[in-house]
Each structure stands twice: as C-alpha cells, then as structure tokens.
Amino acid sequence: MATQYAITGTTAKALSASVERAVTEGALEPGAALPPVRRLAEDLGISPGTVATAYKELRRRGIVVTRGRGGTVVAPAPAVASRRPPKVPEGLRDLAGGHPDPAFLPDLLPPVRLSPGARSHRSSPRLPGLEEAVRDWLGADGVPVEHVTFAHGALDMIGRLLSVELRPGDAVAVEDPGYHHLLDLVTALGLRTVAVAVDDEGMRPEALRDALRAGARAVVCGPRAQNPWGGRFTPARRDALVAVLREAPEVLVIENDHAGSVAAAPLHTLTGGGLARWAHVATVTKYLGTDLRWAAAACDATTLARHDGRMLLTSGWVSHLLQETVLGLMTDPATRDLVCRARDAYEERRLALIGELGRHGITAHGVSGMNVWVPVRDESAVVNGLRTHGWWVAAGARFRIGGAPGVRITAAGLPPADGRRLAADFAAVLGESQATYGG
C-alpha cells in the first residue's frame, strides 16, 4: 500500500468514513496517496466498485483529489477538521501571509448606537445607509449597481454563488497561479478547476476561451491585485475578455476585487460589458480590518435572487452591528486618508522590492496589490534558503495548478530598505542553489 495507514471497512460508507477519520486525525496528511482501487479491493476482500464509490464520495466532498496517473491523493486543503497554515517559525520575518501592514488599519470600535436585539432582520437584511454607500463606492468605478447584496466576506459570497449555480462535478475556470483558498474552496464544493494562465494583465483571453470550450460553467477572476501574480486588467485586456465571455452567455462570471482601494490600479471591470450573468465582489478586509468579515456584491437580478434566497435559509443576514461598523469606517474622513496612505505605501514597497530584485537580475511580477510573484526553478530550495537568512515566504505550490514554480512575497509590510536586504539575500540563495544543483 502507498501509505502506512490501514483503510478499513467493507462498504463504501465505511471506507469513506475510515479515510475521512484518518485525514481529520492527521494520520493521512495532504498529498498522501491512497491505494489504487483494485489493490485496496483485493486487500479488503471487497469489489472494486465499492472502493470506487467510496473514492468518488471522498472526491465529491473535497477530501481527496484524483491526479490522473498520479492516482488518488488527500487534497492539499481537505474539507475536514480545522487545518490552518503552518505557524511562522520563531525569529523569522513573515512575508508569506498576504496580510496588510497593521500600521495602516484603523481602530475598530463598536458603533455608538447598538442594534436592537428584537426585530425582523430577515425582512430588512441590509442597512439602507450602507447599501447606498456601496452603490456610490462601486458605481464610481463603473460597476452597474442596480442590484447589490452583502455576505460574510468574499469567499463566503463566492462559495454561495457557486453552490447555488453549479452542481458537483461542474467545472470552474480559475486563475493559474491563483488564490489558494479559492482553489481549495472549489474543490471542497465538489467542483472541478480548469486552469486559466495569467500574466501582468490578468487572465489570458485564449486560455479563458479554452477553459470555456472545456465546459467551464463559471469563471472567477481578479480584476486587479491578482493574487499571487499581482496582475490587473488593462482596458484592452478587459475588452478582449468580455469578447470571449460573450461567446458563452450562460456562464456566471465572478469578479473578486479583494484589494480594492489599496490595489494602486484603476478598476477596469468586466461587469459593464453587457454580460448576462455576473457578480462583482468587493471586500474591505485588506484596508479596514482583517476581522471585518463583510463583503458587498453588485450582480444581475438572477444572481441576486439565487444568492439571497440561499442566505435567507442559512445565516439570514449579515450582522447589523458589523454593517454599522463598516459604514462608520467607510464614511470617516480620517479612515479614508489612512486608506490612501496605505495604498501609496504598498505601491512604493512593492515597486521598490521588484526594482531591487531586478538589479540582481531576478525577474518579479506585481503591477498592483500587496504581493510579488517571483518565478524560480526550485521552490523548496528558495523557501528554505531564505529561511536561513531570516525570511519566511510562501512556496508557490499552493497557488498553482499546472503553472511554473515560483514564490509569493507579501511586500505590504516591507519598507524599501528591508526590500533591498531581502533582494540581496534572494540573490545569494539563488547562487547557492545554482552551485548545488548545477544551474
């Protein structure tokens, strides 16, 4: 067998429960290979069909994935237990988390006027003042704002939209490299990812067309501050992508503008191009507070009805206390000034790091947002090498589907002087790697 853990059971239900229990308890770690169907069937004295049914159920629930000739393995972020990113080793500078600089986040204070405890929040789920502020916010960037709604963060919104629109086994076109939590979410919903290559201008039109021809029923993309590459739509790229999407009017297009006001790039949205099914999702966690689990979306009427219908049956609404907090921050002049200063600082730090890397002959990407993507030949060698110099960066494997290797560096908290030192250490690590592995 390909693993030391002994899978048990004689029915598909018992087999899948055995694997799930092992994943939950850590006996089977992400990436661990499960035995081939026929081998496990022979070992347990059951039919291959029973094992295949168990594996199918585990795939549907996002616990395992199938990698063609690579067999069935535990998913990178299986949808069980409470797996969290590894803790940053003591003494290292954390450049892996994708977090904003705390110095540019406003103080979060509860609203002065607390929401009454007994009233029909389901009948009035959105505060009128915040709804109007959202229309002003998104409308100023050219997003159609006739229909808007709220959710508990961007991934909560996207997950709900995908779950009401698609069925297990359906395909979703996603960026490659792309946001790792989104990739995990798609898998956990029992959906298939179809990789769409990106460059400094976002999704590549021909790659998107290929994904649609491959049967993708939804597209999730970042219009700016693309994570982890840092790309952003230009007007020309926006128009080219809209032209491709118009060829598939039944496909739901979800635009995730997660960095918004601190992206340091204008928004060239897909949503004003006459698409039939679309949603523009915007959140404030990167510049108002990482604990503000709130997001807004503008969308077409059908998408609004489906999203709000499902929310009505689950959480019902977003806390009015949270909404009042967000509204207070969005309309506070001092907070607006702080956000502008954050945007300028993040751009200075990102561009400074890219420039310093370039002076060492190291190519890096990041025309918007808080992250820098650096292509490398050996992710592990670079991550471990930088660790010896006191830096903790993110290996690109979690962000990639089939793209080339790289590492992601969060530059938001990295002043230019520190970026200069990191670039020198990066060059040293690459030199050490070349000497070890022969270039």
C-beta of residue 72 within 8 angstroms of C-beta of residue 66 = yes
C-beta of residue 196 within 8 angstroms of C-beta of residue 224 = no
Question: 113: pLDDT confidence band, cut at 50, 70 and 90?
Answer: low
Q: What is the pLDDT of residues 393-423, one digit of tens each?
A: 999 998 999 999 999 999 999 999 999 999 9
pLDDT reported for residue 120: 66
Lowest mean pLDDT across 106-110, 116-120, 175-179, 304-308: 116-120
Burial of 391 (0-12, 13-18, 19+ CB in 10 A): buried
In this model, does residue 36 exceed pLDDT 70?
Answer: yes
What is the C-alpha to C-alpha distance for residues 390 and 360, in angstroms, rounded to an integer?
A: 19
Torsion on CA atoms 231, 236, 238, 239, rounded to nearest 10: -160
**Taking all residues of the chain, what is their mean pLDDT, rounded to a whole number?**
92
**High-pLDDT (> 90) share of the chain, %:** 79
C-beta of residue 302 within 8 angstroms of C-beta of residue 278 = no
pLDDT reported for residue 43: 93
The residue type at 152? H
pLDDT reported for residue 75: 82
Domain boundaries, the chain: 12-74, 93-101+335-437, 124-331
pLDDT reported for residue 438: 41
Q: In what order do the strands lie in the sheet with 371-375?
A: 371-375, 406-410, 394-395
Question: 437: pLDDT confidence band, cut at 50, 70 and 90?
Answer: very low
What is the C-alpha to C-alpha distance for residues 337 and 83, in angstroms, rounded to an integer?
A: 37
What is the C-alpha to C-alpha distance for residues 298 and 1, in angstroms, rounded to an integer?
A: 50
Q: What is the Cβ-side half-sphere exposure of residue 171, based on CA atoms within 13 angstroms?
A: 12
Tokens of 175: 């960026």
- Give the domain 12-74 fold: Arc Repressor Mutant, subunit A (1.10.10)
In this model, does residue 29 exceed pLDDT 50?
Answer: yes
- Give CA angle at 322 (315, 150), nearest 5°: 55
Q: Residue by residue, what is the 3-state secondary structure of the chain? A: CCCCCCCCCCCHHHHHHHHHHHHHHCCCCCCCECCCHHHHHHHHCCCHHHHHHHHHHHHHCCCEEECHHHCEEECCCCCCCCCCCCCCCCCCEECCCCCCCHHHCCCCCCCCCCCCCCCCCCCCCCCHHHHHHHHHHHHCCCCCCCCEEEECCHHHHHHHHHHHHCCCCCEEEEEECCCHHHHHHHHHCCCEEEEEEEECCEECHHHHHHHHHCCEEEEEECCCCCCCCCCCCCHHHHHHHHHHHCCCCCCEEEEEECCHHHCCCCCCCCCCCCCCCEEEEEECCCCCCCCCCCEEEEECHHHHHHHHHHHHHCCCCCCHHHHHHHHHHHCCHHHHHHHHHHHHHHHHHHHHHHHHHHHCCCCCECCCCCEEEEECCCHHHHHHHHHHCCEECEEHHHHCCCCCCEEEEECCCCCHHHHHHHHHHHHHHHHHHHHHHCC
In this model, does residue 25 exceed pLDDT 90?
Answer: no
The residue type at 63? I
In this model, does residue 439 exceed pLDDT 60?
Answer: no
Question: 112: pLDDT confidence band, cut at 50, 70 and 90?
Answer: low
**Residue of 74, 76, 27, 69 lying closest to 55 (CA atoms):** 74
In this model, does residue 374 exceed pLDDT 60?
Answer: yes
pLDDT reported for residue 122: 78
In this model, does residue 435 exceed pLDDT 60?
Answer: no
Q: What is the pLDDT of residues 281-300, one digit of tens each?
A: 999 999 999 999 999 999 99
pLDDT reported for residue 83: 45
Q: What is the pLDDT of residues 98-110, one digit of tens each?
A: 999 999 999 887 6
- Give the domain 93-101+335-437 fold: Aspartate Aminotransferase, domain 1 (3.90.1150)
Q: Is 124-331 the same fold as 93-101+335-437?
A: no
Q: Which range has highest mean pLDDT (13-17, 106-110, 236-240, 312-316)? A: 236-240
pTM equals: 0.86
Q: What is the pLDDT of residues 54-100, one digit of tens each?
A: 999 998 887 888 887 779 999 877 776 544 566 788 999 999 999 99
Instruction: Identify the residue whose tokens are 């730090």.
Output: 349
Q: What is the pLDDT of residues 344-360, one digit of tens each?
A: 999 999 999 999 999 99
In this model, does residue 171 exceed pLDDT 70?
Answer: yes
**High-pLDDT (> 70) share of the chain, %:** 93
Burial of 90 (0-12, 13-18, 19+ CB in 10 A): exposed
C-beta of residue 271 within 8 angstroms of C-beta of residue 280 = yes
Q: What is the pLDDT of residues 316-348, one digit of tens each?
A: 999 999 999 999 999 999 999 999 999 999 999
C-beta of residue 212 within 8 angstroms of C-beta of residue 244 = yes
In this model, does residue 146 exceed pLDDT 60?
Answer: yes
What is the C-alpha to C-alpha distance for residues 174 and 198, in angstroms, rounded to an integer?
A: 10
Cis preceding linkage at 177, omega within 30: yes
Instruction: Give the mean pLDDT of 200-215.
Output: 98
Tokens of 278: 């679309």
124-331 carries CATH number 3.40.640.10: yes
Pairing label, strands 252-257, 216-221: parallel
Tokens of 98: 């994708």
In this model, does residue 6 exceed pLDDT 90?
Answer: no
